[in-house]
Structures are given as structure tokens and as C-alpha cells.
Amino acid sequence: MNLLPSGWPSRFDRGQALDAALRLFWHHGYESVSIDDLIKAMGIARSTLYDVFGSKAELHRQAFARYGAGLLSAEDIAAASSARNAVETLLKRGVAAATRPDTPMGYMMSSGMLTAASEHADLAARLQKLRDEARHALQHRIARDVETGVLPETTDAEIEARFIFTVLQGLPLQALDGASSEDLTAVAVQALKHFPQPEAAAEGLPAR
């Protein structure tokens, strides 16, 4: 007996469907992608899209969540062993996200829906909220290392966090302009060089 909803392919793969939707959103932007575009790319009926995902907005949310699983969340940043470790991981994953071979180049969290029509303002605001939460988490993680003497007391946590996220948000634009993974890795290394160095005593090394 076929228990699947009408229009739902017998071999429907939710993950593959979300990946297909993600590629469309990533490449064309939320507003430029129609329901017809989605059902064609996902290989499902219109009724299936609504039965399974509810709406285009919810499909976008789930596709973004699937993508975001490979990035670093605000909670991950807060739990990092050090601010520097968080920065290294952010930059590494940022380069990987900007140059993933299985999706159009870009960093959805950084560039997705920077502008949006008023009826989609809630989606744009959701992405901005995620960006802000991650940046604030890094700022607080840097501040913790300053307070405990791991980083120099002259370190400006807010500016350092903004600097790192400015670099992260620039990576996908460079990738779209043809920068390779090696090019962007070099940029990430340079950014890390500008990040405050740990205090020698706090790292268990002899003070110079």
C-alpha cells in the first residue's frame, strides 16, 4: 500500500530535495525563485512541496538550516576553547563554504537576502539575526580571553569581531569573482595574522 501523499515520488529523498532548493536559493536569491522553479528542481509535485514543507518560506528556512549545519553557530563560538580557535574555525569553514564544489559559490549566511521586499522582511531579518548572533558571540568570546589574560588587555573585542566577520562576508564575493580556495585560504591566513596574539604567560610559555 502506498502511504505517501498524492504527488510524492515513491523514492522521495528529503535531503536531496532540500539540497536542490538550496542551490536555487543560493544562486538566484529567495525572491527570484518561484514555486515552479522549486518543484522542477526538486522533482516533486506542487502539492508535495506544500504537504512536506508547508510554504516557500519554510522550505527556505529548512534549506538554510541544512546548510548552516556545516558552519559555526553562536553556541559553537561561545563553547570554543579560545577566541583564536573560534576565529580559525570560522575562517576555515568560511573558505570551505564560499568554494564548495557541490553548490554555487557563496556564503548564504553572509550574502543571503541582504535586501528584500517588505513582504519577505522576516526572512531577511532572520538571516541578519543569525549573523549578528554569531558576531556578538565572537565578541564575547574575545572579551572573555581579554578578561582572563589570554589576550592583551588592549584588544578591542568589538572591532576584532567585526573585522573577522567583514572578512567572512567578503569571501563569497571574492569566490564569485574567481578567487580559488587557495586564494581565499591565503586571505584567511593573513586575517589570522592580524588577530591579537595570545599572551605568552597565559599560553604557558616563557615571557619574552
pLDDT at site 157: 98
Q: What CA–CA distance (Å, rounded) separates 96 from 161?
A: 20
- As given in the structure block, the three cell numbers for residue 110 are 553572509
Q: Provide the CATH number for the domain formed by 70-194 in this structure.
A: 1.10.357.10
Instruction: Determine the residue type at 5.
Output: P
Lowest mean pLDDT among 8-12, 52-56, 87-91, 133-137: 8-12
pLDDT at site 207: 36
For the full predicted model, state whether its pTM sits above 0.75.
no
Q: How confident is the model at residue 203 (pLDDT cuts 50, 70, 90)?
A: very low
pLDDT at site 61: 81
Q: How confident is the model at residue 8 (pLDDT cuts 50, 70, 90)?
A: very low
| Over residues 48-52, mean pLDDT | 91
Q: What CA–CA distance (Å, rounded) separates 38 from 18?
A: 10
Residue 120 has pLDDT above 70, yes or no: no
Q: What CA–CA distance (Å, rounded) separates 69 from 79?
A: 16
| Over residues 162-167, mean pLDDT | 94
Question: In the chain, where are the structural domains located?
Answer: 14-66, 70-194
Q: What CA–CA distance (Å, rounded) separates 156 from 152?
A: 9
Residue 125 has pLDDT above 50, yes or no: yes
Which CATH superfamily hosts domain 14-66?
A: Homeodomain-like (1.10.10.60)
- Residue range 61-115, pLDDT digits in tens: 888 777 665 667 888 899 999 999 999 999 998 898 888 776 554 445 555 544 4
Q: Which residues, including other chains, have CB under 8 Å from residue 65's CB and lie 6 or more apart?
A: none
The overall average pLDDT reported for the chain is: 80
CA 136 to chain centre: 15
